Chain A
Amino acid sequence: MQFLQLVISGIAQGCIYGLIALGFVLIYKATETVSFAQGELMMLGAFGGYAAITFLGMPFWLAVLSAIAAMAVFGVLVERVVIRPILGQPAFSIVMLTIGIGYVARGAITMIPGIGTETHTLAVPYRNEIWKAGGLVINAEQVVVIVATALLCALLYATFRYSKVGIAMQAASQNQLAAYYMGIPVRRLNSLVWGLAAAVAAIAGLLLAPITFVHANMGFIGLKAFPAAVVGGFGSLPGAIVGGLIIGIVESLSGFYLPEGFKDIAAYIVVLLMLVVMPNGLFGEKLRKKV
């Protein structure tokens, strides 16, 4: 029972990692770069939801939707203003750029007087509801995280599988130049992908908010999502979620069964082992260069 309980809370936590990793993977697939600002986008989304409820007095669902929409617009803007001018430069530059964006986002939130340095609670309607089922104690928050992640995955899957935009995104992610020649607006798609990634990050932030509170440094959880993305195989959407679940469950179990301190680094030990054993991850595609 204890074990199952730990696994469930691990899955809930893992879904958050998976959602952030999903953002990495979307951006990596589309633009071949990794966004280190994903955790900060998540933080901004959570703060957006908080601000919409507290200051604008919106009802919960409207606040959530508007925070997600605002983050999507923000993601598109970031791509348009900062990322696009340096397309074509080495991936390293864009990594540094996203680190810079992360710094600015974190600093800017901290600079808001009276709000930035505090921790807040997001007033969610399902707060503190607990279900008991056969000895298991399940928080409503965890259930919401798991259900929302599953729904989002289904939605993304359907988009990529059936919609025109999704198929165009797939094409662009496989070969940008070829996609461009086939008349796919690669640049516009990149903007869209950033918007999508930011929206996913905002959802992750809003889901995480009832569990850990909203504060300026909550974006550092993004660093745990890297292992999730690598374990699943960078560049694989289902891999991101599976990787997130693995990291979440390992973390939750090691927090209970291993000595203190292992919980914080379990994710990194897993990723190092993974890189040694299977550098391409569980679902990663193997690419080779032919001369």
Chain B
Amino acid sequence: MRFIFKTDYAQDIRLVQHGGHAFWYSLLGLVLAAAPWLMSEYLLAQLTFVLIYGIVGLGLMLLAGFTGLFSLGHAAFFGVGAYAQAVLTNMGWPFPLAMAVAGLLAAAVGVVVGLPALRVKGIYLGIATLAFGFIVEEGFARWESVTGGNSGLAVDVPKAFGWAADGATSFYFVCLVTAVGATLACRNLLRAPTGRAFVAIRDSEISAQSMGIHLAYYKTLSFAISAALAGIGGALYAHQIRFLSPDQFNIIQSIDLLLMVVIGGLGSLHGAFLGAIFLIGLPQAISAVKDFLPEAIGNAPGLKAVVYGAVLIAFVLFEPLGLYGRWLKVRTWFQLFPFYRQGMFRRQKAFQKSERLR
């Protein structure tokens, strides 16, 4: 167990808390950088998807996990980014510029959603974003001159200034750099006053307001940043999947994204990536164990949905802190070995409080 004796405020918000952090994160970085030579091409493609969903997850985590506003229409931002990227790249724009525009466009859409969403809370916000998601999905399907409608849209390889990421490896590195950049950006945002304002809004809107936090501004900002990250993720997704169609950005996708951050662990940046690993890994795991199951269960089309639902239920019931929370508990158990007690991480209301008035 490492005790960090803090003697001034600056220590609270240091990026790297101690040497152990630096060591393990650089090791992780090395492994990720060496991944193309360690893995088969198929696994590398899956890892690329993990990074892409991780970026989207970071965005949703900022919104749902740190600001406490949950969105059931995040696939719409994801889709706006993907389509913007596809259209711009096909027009011959360089990759970084197209991605920046895709992110900004998604952020602008996020502001448009965020503004009316300021007036509503909780479940109303969920339904507003849900409605928005449906409208955007329909827009993708109907705006055929730009998006290709239901027949889909092919996407070019990312190109920039004479260089093209046409192989799996080079595109993996593009995603890796973007993911690391996005993670650092989020981490820094959370250390800064903005991020603390987000957390304050999540914990109690009224007290945040009375501390002088401008609710409307920060909520809209949170929506915008979250949407921008989703848009950037969408831009990478467009290149990875190479073919877009509107049904990739429907309500199921939105719920999958939400499921990803909940299972990863709401309120932790690690959770975004753990959730992404889970989301990408579970179908693989299911198809791996399929052969060992009885025929009738293994080949049933509903198996994936049942497993998803059951895992989600199990997490909400037994591990509300998600995968990252589980990791923290395991680590703490080892650190405190004989002294770990049940319910150390419990943060539960003693009696049901009314949420209608929040």
Q: Could you tell me which A residues sit within 8 Å of B by CB distance? A: 28, 32, 34, 82, 85-97, 99-111, 113, 116-117, 175-177, 216, 223, 226-227, 230, 234-235, 261, 264-265, 267-269, 271-272, 275-276, 279, 287-289, 291
Q: Is the CB of B355 within 8 A of A90?
A: yes
Q: Is the CB of B317 within 8 A of A111?
A: no
Chain B residues whose CB sits within 8 angstroms of the CB of A89 once the complex forms: 320, 348-349
* Complex A-B, nearest 8 residue pairs according to Cβ-Cβ distance, in ascending order: A103-B309, A110-B302, A107-B305, A104-B309, A107-B306, A268-B131, A100-B312, A107-B302
Distance of A291 Cα from B358 Cα, bound (Å): 11
- In the assembled complex, B91 has its CB within 8 A of some CB on chain A: no
Contacts A93-B316, A96-B262, A272-B116; A226 near B130 (Cβ below 8 A): yes
A272 → chain B closest CB, angstroms: 5
Chain B residues whose CB sits within 8 angstroms of the CB of A267 once the complex forms: 131
Interface of B is mostly: helix
Q: Which of A108, A271, A287, A289 contacts B306 (CB 8 A)?
A: A108
- Could you say which of B30-38, B120-128, B159-167 contacts chain A? B120-128
- In the assembled complex, B93 has its CB within 8 A of some CB on chain A: no
- Could you say which of B7-15, B80-88, B135-143, B270-278 contacts chain A? B135-143
- In the assembled complex, B251 has its CB within 8 A of some CB on chain A: yes
Q: Which of A109, A264, A271 contacts B302 (CB 8 A)?
A: A109
Q: Is the CB of B349 within 8 A of A111?
A: no
Distance of A271 Cα from B117 Cα, bound (Å): 12
Q: A268-B131, A271-B127 are in contact. List 13 more A-B contacts (CB 8 A).
A: A96-B258, A101-B313, A103-B308, A104-B313, A109-B302, A116-B301, A116-B302, A226-B131, A227-B131, A265-B134, A267-B131, A269-B135, A272-B128
- In the assembled complex, B356 has its CB within 8 A of some CB on chain A: yes
Q: Is the CB of A272 within 8 A of B302?
A: no
Q: Is the CB of A275 within 8 A of B128?
A: yes
A180 nearest CB neighbor, chain B only = B351
Chain A residues whose CB sits within 8 angstroms of the CB of B40 once the complex forms: none
Distance of A96 Cα from B317 Cα, bound (Å): 10
Q: Which of A97, A276, A288 contacts B312 (CB 8 A)?
A: A97
A87 nearest CB neighbor, chain B only = B352
B287 → chain A closest CB, angstroms: 15
B357 → chain A closest CB, angstroms: 4
Q: Is the CB of A113 within 8 A of B300?
A: yes
Chain B residues whose CB sits within 8 angstroms of the CB of A235 once the complex forms: 356
B99 → chain A closest CB, angstroms: 29
Q: Is the CB of B128 within 8 A of A271?
A: yes
Distance of A291 Cα from B119 Cα, bound (Å): 20
Which B residues from 197 to 216 make CB contacts under 8 A with A?
A: 206
- Can you give 21 contacting A-B residue pairs, CB < 8 Å? A32-B352, A34-B123, A88-B352, A92-B70, A94-B316, A97-B316, A99-B309, A100-B309, A107-B302, A108-B302, A111-B297, A111-B301, A176-B352, A216-B302, A268-B135, A271-B128, A272-B135, A279-B119, A287-B357, A289-B206, A291-B206
Contacts A96-B312, A103-B308; A88 near B355 (Cβ below 8 A): no
Q: Is the CB of A82 within 8 A of B251?
A: no
Q: Which of A88, A94, A216 has the most CB of B within 10 A?
A: A88
Chain B residues whose CB sits within 8 angstroms of the CB of A291 once the complex forms: 206
B121 nearest CB neighbor, chain A only = A279
Chain B residues whose CB sits within 8 angstroms of the CB of A111 once the complex forms: 297, 300-303, 306
